[in-house]
Structure 1
Amino acid sequence: MSEKIKVLVVDDHAIIRKGVIQLLRDNPYDVVLLDISMPGEHGIDVLIKIKDLKPNLPVLMLSMYPEDQYAIRSLKAGAAGYINKQDALSQMVIAIRQVSTGRKYISSELAVQLAENLTHQNHDLPHQTLSHREYQTLCLIASGKKLSEIAETMILSAKTVSVYRARLLEKMKMRTNAELIHYAITHHLVL
Structure 2
Amino acid sequence: MSALRIALADDQALVRAGLRALLERQGVEIAFEADDGQALLDRLQDTPVDVVLSDIRMPGVDGIAALERLRERGDRTPVLLLTTFDDSELLLRATEAGAQGFLLKDAAPEDLHEAIVRVAGGDTLLQPVSTEPVRARYRYHADDAPRALFSEREVSVLRLMAGGYSNKEIARAMFLAEGTVKNYVSVILEKLDTRDRTRAVLKAITLRVI
Q: TM-score, normalised by structure 2?
A: 0.49
| Partner SS, residue 54 of structure 2 | strand
- Taking only the aligned residue pairs, the percentage that are identical comes to 29
Aligned-partner Cα distance in 2 for 1:85–1:14: 15
Residues 1:27 and 2:28 are matched in the alignment:
yes
Q: Deviations over 1:143-185 (max 9, x none)?
A: xxxxxxxxxxxxxxxxxxxxxxxxxxxxxxxxxxxxxxxxxxx
Equivalent pair of 1:66/1:84 in contact (CA under 8 Å):
no
Q: Deviations over 1:52-105 (max 9, x none)?
A: 235320011112353532222211111110112122222211211110011111
Amino acid in the other structure paired with 2:10: D
Runs of 4+ in 1 over 4 A off after TM superposition: none
Residue number in structure 2 paired with 1:71: 91
Aligned-partner Cα distance in 2 for 1:74–1:64: 14
Of the three residues 60, 83, 101, the one matched with 2:121 is: 101
Residue number in structure 2 paired with 1:128: none
Aligned-partner Cα distance in 1 for 2:86–2:53: 17
Equivalent pair of 2:102/2:128 in contact (CA under 8 Å):
no
Give the alignment's Cα RMSD to 1 decimal.
2.8
- Structure 1, unmatched stretches of 5+, are 124-191
Offset of 1:49 from its aligned partner? Answer: 1.1
- Structure 2, unmatched stretches of 5+, are 30-48, 143-210
Of the three residues 54, 61, 73, the one matched with 2:81 is: 61
Equivalent pair of 2:100/2:124 in contact (CA under 8 Å):
yes
Residues 1:24 and 1:66: Cα distance change in structure 2 (over 3 Å): same
